[in-house]
Amino acid sequence: MAAPSNAKASDAPRARIALVGCNHRTAPVELRERLAFTSQQALDAATELRRQGILEEAVILSTCNRSELYGVTMETSPTPADAMEEFLTSFHRIPRSQLDGRVYRWSGADAVRHLFRVAAGLDSMLLGEAEILGQLRTAYGEALARGVTGPVLNRVFQGALEVGKRVRSETEIGSRPMSVALAGVKLAERIFGNLKGHSAMILGAGEVAGQVAQQLRYRGIGSLRIVNRSYAHAAELAGRMDGEAVAWESLEKIMPEADVIVTSVGGADVVLTRAALDSAITARGGRPIFVVDLGVPRNVAPESAGLYNLYLYNVDDLGEIVEQNKKAREAEIPRAESIVAAHVAKFEAWRGRLGAAETVRHSIGLRDASESGEDQD
């Protein structure tokens, strides 16, 4: 007869949610750009986190303001955050010492609450920003399609999307939503005043570039050019915005004609060097150029900031507009927080039921094992 097992139903391991990340509050753009993931890198990293046994489910959310690893481990895993942080530094080849004090860790309901606040736009640099919910939806959708999520993260991220929709429809946080695109254009107006009669060039043709183009057109920009590595994508955006598409190879040739340059190009390479900008300013007879770098990693060489008559801003330089945006919407924060709290409680209730079901299944397994053991000599 087999020896009786000392395991109890209450010993059944339960799923635990873990989060490791950094954002605009904890890390400057110089570090965030080194920790950023492309869409493909996010999927590859999530797959590797599962392959190494660090996480059972994984989703990586990476935007200009944050890089966050969400995962599910079992309670038998003692320090999942340590392993996740070690993976983060190893993947990006960064000494772990550089993350001291820059990375936050949350688990359980705290991790869920953080994600729900992100979806609601409460954790953004620009309160109620327009882009984050779409970025979250894309990150989750791609992870789901890759097969790196599971029942727990599926429930969490579906709940986050619901929170984001409710906050935008039931509070004023979502009315006239602020975005980095709008903030960048507002900065340009401070330099040039009325944008009518001025020329603008946008590097990139993605979602943010489209929002910048729309804001520039709304504010009466004189001429608008779209430059992208894919000319077809540049032509598509230019067609929608009554602009002109330009081949990537002609970038430096037309730079002197632009009063305003906004960059939103994916990838890790600098696309505007100090030398190219210096040459453009010289060709303009010293007339200033206003550049907003919305890329993370940055698209413009940081040392360009020292050039005379170059006004260079990146995503961390939107402070004053951020504060104005917050003051206009902060009265709505308690209503949004109450929606977040209600959905956290809803998720925790679901997780409690899931844990009870796991305990029942574990108990049945123990009983079956014991009965099977009694039949053996």
Tell me which of 58-62, 119-123, 358-362 is least confident.
358-362
Confidence (pLDDT) at 74: 77
Does residue 301 sit in helix, strand or coil?
A: coil
pLDDT of 177 over the 80 cut: no
pLDDT of 27 over the 50 cut: yes
Which pLDDT band holds residue 77 (cuts at 50, 70, 90)? low
- Active-site residue, from 17, 42, 61, 64: 64
pLDDT of 359 over the 60 cut: no
Top pLDDT among 15 and 37 is at: 37
> Distance between CA atoms of 179 and 83, rounded to whole angstroms?
34
pLDDT of 369 over the 80 cut: no
Which pLDDT band holds residue 324 (cuts at 50, 70, 90)? confident
Taken in order 5, 8, 9, 13, is the CA torsion positive or negative?
negative
Does residue 26 sit in helix, strand or coil?
A: coil
> Distance between CA atoms of 171 and 339, rounded to whole angstroms?
10
To the nearest 10 degrees (0 to 180), the angle between helices 180-192 and 319-329 is 120
Confidence (pLDDT) at 373: 52
Could you tell me which residues come within 8 angstroms of residue 46 by beta carbon, excluding any fewer than 6 positions away? 55, 58, 59, 60, 143, 146, 148
The two beta strands, 310-314 and 289-293, are parallel
Q: Cα torsion at 35, 38, 40, 45 (round to 10°)?
A: 10
Nearest CA-CA partner of 62 in 114, 134, 135, 129 = 135
For all residues of the chain together, what is the average pLDDT?
Answer: 88
Confidence (pLDDT) at 6: 47
Active site residue 64: yes
